[in-house]
Amino acid sequence: VRMNAGTQCCMFLSIFLFISICLGEDYDLDDKTGLGRSFDGIGGLSGGGATSRLLVNYAEPYRSQILDYLFKPKFGASLQILKVEIGGDAQTTDGTEPSHMHYEDDENYFRGYEWWLMKEAKKRNPNITLIGLPWAFPGWVGNGENWPYSFPDITASYVVSWILGAKQYHNLDIDYVGIWNERSFNSKYIKLLRYTLDKSGLERVKIIASDNLWEPISSVVTADKELQDAVEILGVHYPGTNTLPEALKTGKKLWSSEDYSTFNDNVGGGCWARILNQNYVNGKMTATICWNLVSSYYGDLPFGRDGLMTAKEPWSGNYVVESPIWITAHTTQFTEPGWTYLQTVGHFTHGGSYVALTDERGNLTIITETMTHDHSVCIRPPLPSYDVTAQNVTFHLKGTFASISELQVWHSKFDFKTNKSVLFQNIKPIKDTLKQRSFSIELDVDEVYTFTTVRNGQRGSYPDPPPSAPFPKSYKDDFDVSGHPYFSEAPNFADQTGVFEYFTNQTDPGPHVSTLRQVVTQRPVTWVADADQTISVIGDYQWQDLMVSCDIYMESVHTGGVFIAVRVNKGGGVVRSTRGVFLWVYADGTYKVTNDLNGMTVLAEGLSGTRARVWYTLTLTVKGNYASADLNGYPLWKNAVLWEPRHGWAAIGTSSFELAQFDNFAIEALT
Ligand SMILES: *[C@@H]1O[C@H](CO)[C@@H](O)[C@H](O)[C@H]1NC(C)=O
Ligand SMILES: *[C@@H]1O[C@H](CO)[C@@H](O)[C@H](O)[C@H]1NC(C)=O
Ligand SMILES: *[C@@H]1O[C@H](CO)[C@@H](O)[C@H](O)[C@H]1NC(C)=O
Ligand SMILES: *[C@@H]1O[C@H](CO)[C@@H](O)[C@H](O)[C@H]1NC(C)=O
Ligand SMILES: *[C@@H]1O[C@H](CO)[C@@H](O)[C@H](O)[C@H]1NC(C)=O
């Protein structure tokens, strides 16, 4: 930090007058000293995994309101980048997302909700940058190995088909594609991906590598000319605002291509404010992408509420516009990708940071943050301690900016004592002092300011959404597709291993013409340890006493097995150790009641007479410490005693990666 007039003045006064009237520190904003890097935007990440699952089932007008808070320019977060998961049929943190190619001879570009989400984002902001990244791949891509690079040409054409499908079926231009989220990269594969993109007329689609750490990708790119040409962006995750000399040496653009992942209370807002500025100030990163875009998954799954806002109650319509939305607005509403950072950005003498960006027309946007350590800790990496105190700062506008006569001012202050935080408030513009080509401001701790020539910022708002409510105690779904034209998945089911999608049997319009079908028949190239069984959870994690019933249909003659369950206590990356009360029937004519998904703890077992390709109705009732089950209305077993777990979701699933169907699902909560 340079010693400047302000510091000297302060010392002088305190020594000779024994009072500390500090006139503050001076900071120049000057485009004539040269410009910094080009700004690429702030974004949100949907997926990695299934983080937008519940959003799609919100009724209007709430669903559009949520989308407006995220994407509509000059309204809320006004996001400049949307990154989505390229579904790979496997568990990727809070659920699975369906692949466009479950099988080698299968192609379908209407599964899941990411296509829809990208279109909704584009509708609001045609300039939004789109990125796709795989976390996992269908099993056939790995040819049975848990590895996507053994046949790199197959993996490359699989990924490129997703980009081509986006254009062909949804008129979506994907701008960037990644390699394999937070896993190994492979230079040969990256070059082949570049080659396959070019060969498919997709020269404009650029590659981000490697969505992991700065190393080894930086050194490998520097050492390999062909790889240098193939890779456009170095994307790192959770960089703690820092970069490495090796990354700078590549000469590539540096992005924090996944960051935040922090509970979205005001400390989360503080984390986001600090890293949005300091990812550039400390790390020269020119884009930052938030995991996740919107917390639209059951709150009791891993990393609940780690999104820019919360929308996890489609049944009530309730959603919450959390502080990270307004922190994002401080930058996004007053910049566009393509603006340029000034060289004169940095840290304040008494803590906090400032960045300044400009466009070609002499616009200027300054963002300051003075977040204290304890009010801006992110989930990772650890944050070394530092001090921030209230301070007076003076900005001097030089170069092109000397002629600016008015700056709009937007202010946020996190107040952790009273909870009366101010978020993104438009306050009195700065005018008079600009005649002296400078302005001074007293910065308190835990504040964010934007000073800008851009006039049309807006704090968008809608009437309060309906109040929060628990999942309905009585719930039914007959999977009649006609009621759900847009999505392949039934509302509120959150797949944790396998993929459950609507199925219509074209050959026989009997009573089970429209069903929900588990369709993953081979273990995927996984991102975490998916279960060996498939499972989709639904409902309220606090449910204790419950009756679940469902019609089931095993398609697999030899290995067929299907379950319904209650008090299911886990999902996400730890799905293998899920416990609950599981009622299984098998195609070999037996049944089982187990206390866990992997079937290790058997509470009861016996003969059921069940076989494949016949519909049965299963009913499971759990009350207090007792459980009982019916098959086609007749008692199968009664009053099995169980102790743990005490509560959890309801669920359906299969005993292996196999085809099976479900129909007429119903829940009655008994307490
Ligand atoms: C899209 O970008 C162009 C060029 O920067 C700009 O003029 C236009 O206002 C932008 N549109 C929106 C909706 O942001
Ligand atoms: C800033 O950009 C606007 C258009 O968004 C333009 O009208 C104006 O002249 C620019 N320059 C300044 C200094 O405001
Ligand atoms: C900022 O300056 C004002 C006016 O000179 C003074 O009253 C105030 O104490 C200063 N604040 C700080 C934190 O130094
Ligand atoms: C502030 O809000 C948090 C979270 O809602 C709550 O835990 C805390 O008690 C509140 N503090 C005050 C002083 O109201
Ligand atoms: C579709 O219905 C026909 C006639 O009932 C049946 O034979 C066939 O197995 C069904 N197909 C599936 C996949 O359920």
Buried b (16+ CB within 10 A) or exposed e, 28-45: bbbbeeeebeebbbbbbb
Are 121 and 128 in contact by the 8 Å Cβ rule? The answer is: yes
What pLDDT is recorded for position 71? 99
Q: Any bridge partners for residue 585, and if so which?
A: 562, 591
pLDDT digits (tens, 9 = 90+) for 281-319: 999 999 999 999 999 999 999 999 999 999 999 999 999
Q: For atom 14 of ligand 5, which residue has the closest CA?
A: 505
What the block records as the tokens of 120 is: 């909704």
Distance from the CA of 418 to the center of ligand 4, in angstroms? Answer: 8
Ligand 1 mutation pick, 125, 128, 173, 336, max ligand atoms within 8 A of CB: 336
Query: Which pLDDT band, with edges at 50, 70 and 90, does 11 fall under?
Result: low
pLDDT digits (tens, 9 = 90+) for 605-632: 999 999 999 999 999 999 999 999 999 9
What the block records as the tokens of 244 is: 């490495």
Can you tell me the distance from the alpha carbon of 531 to that of 521, in angstroms, rounded to the nearest whole number? 13
DSSP 137: B
Distance from the CA of 51 to the center of ligand 3, in angstroms? Answer: 45
Are 411 and 425 in contact by the 8 Å Cβ rule? The answer is: yes
Can you tell me the distance from the alpha carbon of 110 to that of 338, in angstroms, rounded to the nearest whole number? 32
| Domains in the chain: ranges and CATH | 21-34+345-452 (2.60.40.1180), 37-338 (3.20.20.80), 474-669 (2.60.120.560)
Ligand 1 mutation pick, 38, 40, 72, 127, max ligand atoms within 8 A of CB: 127
Q: For atom 1 of ligand 5, which residue has the closest CA?
A: 505
Q: What percent of the chain has pLDDT over 90?
A: 92
Phi and psi, residue 638, nearest 5°:
-140, 145
Q: Which long-range contacts (CB under 8 A, 24 or more apart) does 237-241 make?
A: 237/182, 237/211, 237/212, 237/213, 238/378, 238/380, 238/381, 239/214, 239/279, 239/283, 239/285, 240/380, 240/381, 240/382, 240/383, 241/274, 241/275, 241/278, 241/279, 241/281, 241/282, 241/283, 241/285
525 in helix, strand or coil? strand
Quick one: which ligand is closest to 553's CA? 5
- pLDDT of residue 154 exceeding 70, the answer is yes
Quick one: which ligand is closest to 24's CA? 3
What pLDDT is recorded for position 558? 85
Q: For atom 5 of ligand 2, which residue has the closest CA?
A: 454
What pLDDT is recorded for position 17? 43
Which atom of ligand 3 is nearest the CA belonging to 389? 13
Distance from the CA of 87 to the center of ligand 5, in angstroms? Answer: 28
Compute the mean pLDDT over every residue in the chain, rounded to the nearest whole number.
Answer: 95
Which atom of ligand 5 is nearest the CA belonging to 505? 1
Beta strand 660-669 with 546-554: parallel, antiparallel or unpaired?
Answer: antiparallel
What the block records as the tokens of 141 is: 């891509």
Quick one: which ligand is closest to 390's CA? 3
Which atom of ligand 1 is nearest the CA belonging to 124? 13
- Beta-carbon contacts of 233 under 8 Å, excluding residues fewer than 6 positions away, are 176, 206, 207, 208, 209, 252, 253, 254, 255, 257
Using a 6 Å CB cutoff, which residues line ligand 3? 22, 390-392, 442
Which atom of ligand 1 is nearest the CA belonging to 336? 5
Query: Which pLDDT band, with edges at 50, 70 and 90, does 483 fall under?
Result: low
**Is 258 a known active-site residue?**
yes
Catalytic residue among 85, 114, 258, 313: 258
Are 138 and 88 in contact by the 8 Å Cβ rule? The answer is: yes
Distance from the CA of 416 to the center of ligand 4, in angstroms? Answer: 8
